[in-house]
Chains A and B, each alone.
Chain A
Amino acid sequence: MHQLIEVTFGGITQGAVYCVIAVGLSLVYGTARVLNFAHGSLYTTGGYLCWLLTAGYFGLPLWAGILVLIPILFLIGVAIERVIVRPLRAGPNWKTTIMMATLGLAFLLDNLFQTLFGAVPLMIPPFSGGTVEILGTTIATYRVWMLAIAVGIVVGLEVFLSATLFGQAVRAVAQDMQGATQVGIDVNRIFAFTFGLSVILTGLAGVLLAPIYLVSPLGGWAPFLKAFVIVVFGGLGSTRGAMIAAFILALIEAFVVFYLGPSWTLPVWLLTLLVVLMIRPMGLLGKWEA
């Protein structure tokens, strides 16, 4: 019983962080209609940059490191939009060319990290080491924090998108690019902004999961694919759908790891994706043609 609660709680915390990555992916896909294949590598980038800022090189305390990290991540996102995505968008076959270019960028980043930091995973120590007792089961405090922070980020994003003028502009572009242009929204600025925001989200998720999964050059691919499955499962452009899907899928994963072993995670996610696509290709809360 205790083990069951532990596995369930592990799944829930995991799901919250996956949700942050997935929302970042869905944000860019929803507004700019671009599938950013470097999303997973940017997750890793968050981990490595945080390590450099704190334990690795600059020795900042974690909160200060993250404060410095957020603007850097934002600028990286904006730079990707300006340098790679925007020029390609003007050309023919832009969906294909952007996918290839961002996949190239992903490999570039992966191999850069491999060269700079080596293949040995790096460690960012958790900021809280103790344990708490929940329902009679001992759970690491860090996991509770992780859940709180991740849910906080997603809720904050939801509030930003619905309550602020800028957030509403983002949603307007997502719904109807042409219409948004006509009412005077600078679509390119929104694209750059959503890219920045999406890199912040995935980068912070990388930092949050670093104490558990460590930071390694190829470590971003699994979260990226999982985020994709979540986005598909939840329904494109639906934050709430993504949240529900993230928790369901993370729970499935937690039990798969517990009963079958970690090497089955990716095949099981793939199988889930297949089943979802067969039964409900528009996702839980999605509709066709976002």
Chain B
Amino acid sequence: MARAFASSSVSLSGTGMPPAWAGKWFWVAVALLALAGALIDDSYARHILILCFLWAIVAASWDLVIGYAGIMNYGQLVFFAFGAYVSGFLAAKLGVTPLVAMAIAAAATGLIGLLVGLPCLRLRGEYVALFTFAVHLAMPPLIQQGRDLGLGGNTGLLGIPPVNLFGYVIGPLDKLGWFYLTLAVAAVSIYLIYFVLLRSRLGHAFVALRDSEGFARTLGVDDFKYKLLAFAISAVFAGLAGALYAHYTTVVTPKILGNEFFLMAMVMLAIGGMGRFPGVLIGAFLVIIGNELLRGFDTYRLIVLGAAVVVTVLLLPNGLVSLAERMGWGKRAGTQVGST
């Protein structure tokens, strides 16, 4: 059965599934970025790219659950924040080696993903969206409550040690080191999400449940199991990104659950196009770079971001990638536009 699913005779067009040939181009793009990191000798530009890589992981993990599994989870940043806090706490307060702390954080976030996913099994579309968003909004007060544990309340968790890669310490100022570390983690994570997980039986089950839940269940797809897996797996990657972020910035504050980050992540998905590789990755780069360019506008920046969500959803309901498809590019990637 599993082999039958994976065989090339199964048509993937219209599912938004990345085709096998895209994997090659993915690694070409990663190699070009790696080269660019060495050529660009500007720590600010490197910093922006590091943020792009970290957010690309978050966007991809979110895309997995919203775009491919079709679960309207609005709580993805909870996982990001949870990973950041767990790793930061373990490393800063308990003296755990950062790499180990990050691994524990990713695994623990996976469990939180299961926990958040559990009530969602009984809910439908909009209800899932609101429940998960409620979890998101309930997080900052809970973090405040954890001040006694050493979570730092509003000031945040300070003094998170830098990553120590088997004796080689990547300090916060070592932008090139961070550039390669985040690029490597992002490349592997994104490859795992789009080219290993989604192309496996798991991904087919996600897409089947998304496109026709009743029919998929009739075929024997265990919806509870796969929905929980979607939550857990996407949480692991978001938690990993959060942990990396914590060690990179050395500080975690409840601000990562604020308006700005949520909006940014949403624009990534809206602009890029959910469930359409490489839509959200392009979205992540555009948003992070665009956000930096808009810094001059200060307070208007967030208004622009909010408006960007509304306008792109109205004009391009399936994101930039759908524009490319409409113009005839990437026909092989799936031509079904505008009919789900």
Name A's B-contacting residues (CB within 8 A). Answer: 29, 35, 37, 84, 87-88, 91-93, 95-97, 99-101, 103-112, 114-115, 218, 221-222, 225, 228-229, 232, 263-264, 266-267, 269-270, 273-274, 277-278, 281
B141, B262, B269, B313: the one contacting A101 at CB < 8 Å is B313
Q: How far is the CA of A111 from the CA of B264 in the complex (A)?
A: 13
* CB < 8 Å A-B pair total: 124
Given A111-B303, A114-B302, 13 further pairs, Cβ under 8 A: A35-B129, A84-B314, A99-B72, A101-B314, A111-B259, A218-B259, A222-B137, A263-B145, A264-B141, A264-B145, A266-B141, A270-B134, A270-B135
Cβ-based interface call for B109 (8 A): no
Minimal beta-carbon separation of A120 from chain B (angstroms): 14
Q: Which residues of A lie under 8 Å from residue B142 when comparing CB positions?
A: 267
Q: How far is the CA of A29 from the CA of B126 in the complex (A)?
A: 10
B137, B306, B317: the one contacting A107 at CB < 8 Å is B306
A99, A266, A281: the one contacting B122 at CB < 8 Å is A281
Binary flags per residue of B172-194, CB closer than 8 Å to A gives 1, else 0 = 00000000000000000000000
The answer to whether A225 touches B130 (Cβ under 8 A) is: yes
Cβ-based interface call for B165 (8 A): no
> Could you say which interface size class chain B belongs to?
35 or more
Q: How far is the CA of A189 from the CA of B133 in the complex (A)?
A: 31
Q: Which residues of B lie under 8 Å from residue A103 when comparing CB positions?
A: 74, 266, 309
Q: How far is the CA of A125 from the CA of B92 in the complex (A)?
A: 48
Minimal beta-carbon separation of B148 from chain A (angstroms): 13
The answer to whether A95 touches B318 (Cβ under 8 A) is: no
The answer to whether A93 touches B340 (Cβ under 8 A) is: yes
Q: A274-B119, A277-B119 are in contact. Are A108 and B338 (CB under 8 A)?
A: no
Minimal beta-carbon separation of A138 from chain B (angstroms): 31
Q: How far is the CA of A77 from the CA of B83 in the complex (A)?
A: 39
Cβ-based interface call for B238 (8 A): no
Q: Which of B51-89 contact A (CB under 8 A)?
A: 66, 72, 74
Q: How far is the CA of A88 from the CA of B310 in the complex (A)?
A: 11
The answer to whether A115 touches B307 (Cβ under 8 A) is: no
The answer to whether A97 touches B317 (Cβ under 8 A) is: yes
Q: Is the interface of A mostly helix, strand, loop or mixed?
A: helix
Q: How far is the CA of A101 from the CA of B87 in the complex (A)?
A: 34
The answer to whether A225 touches B259 (Cβ under 8 A) is: no
Q: How far is the CA of A35 from the CA of B303 in the complex (A)?
A: 22
Q: Which of B289-340 contact A (CB under 8 A)?
A: 299-300, 302-303, 305-310, 313-314, 317-318, 338-340
B66, B274, B306: the one contacting A108 at CB < 8 Å is B306
The answer to whether A107 touches B340 (Cβ under 8 A) is: no
Minimal beta-carbon separation of B144 from chain A (angstroms): 6
Q: A101-B309, A104-B310 are in contact. Are A88 and B317 (CB under 8 A)?
A: yes
The answer to whether B130 touches A35 (Cβ under 8 A) is: yes
Q: Which residues of A lie under 8 Å from residue B307 when comparing CB positions?
A: 104, 108
The CB with the most chain A CB atoms within 10 A, among B72, B127, B339, is that of B127
Cβ-based interface call for B125 (8 A): yes
The 3 closest A-B pairs by CB, nearest first: A104-B309, A108-B306, A107-B306
Please, could you name 29 A-B residue pairs with CB atoms under 8 Å apart, sorted by A? A29-B126, A88-B314, A96-B72, A100-B270, A100-B313, A101-B313, A101-B314, A103-B74, A103-B266, A103-B309, A104-B270, A106-B306, A107-B266, A107-B306, A108-B303, A109-B306, A111-B305, A112-B303, A115-B303, A218-B259, A228-B130, A263-B141, A263-B144, A267-B141, A270-B134, A270-B138, A277-B131, A278-B119, A281-B123
Q: Which residues of A lie under 8 Å from residue B126 when comparing CB positions?
A: 29, 35, 95, 99
Minimal beta-carbon separation of B211 from chain A (angstroms): 11
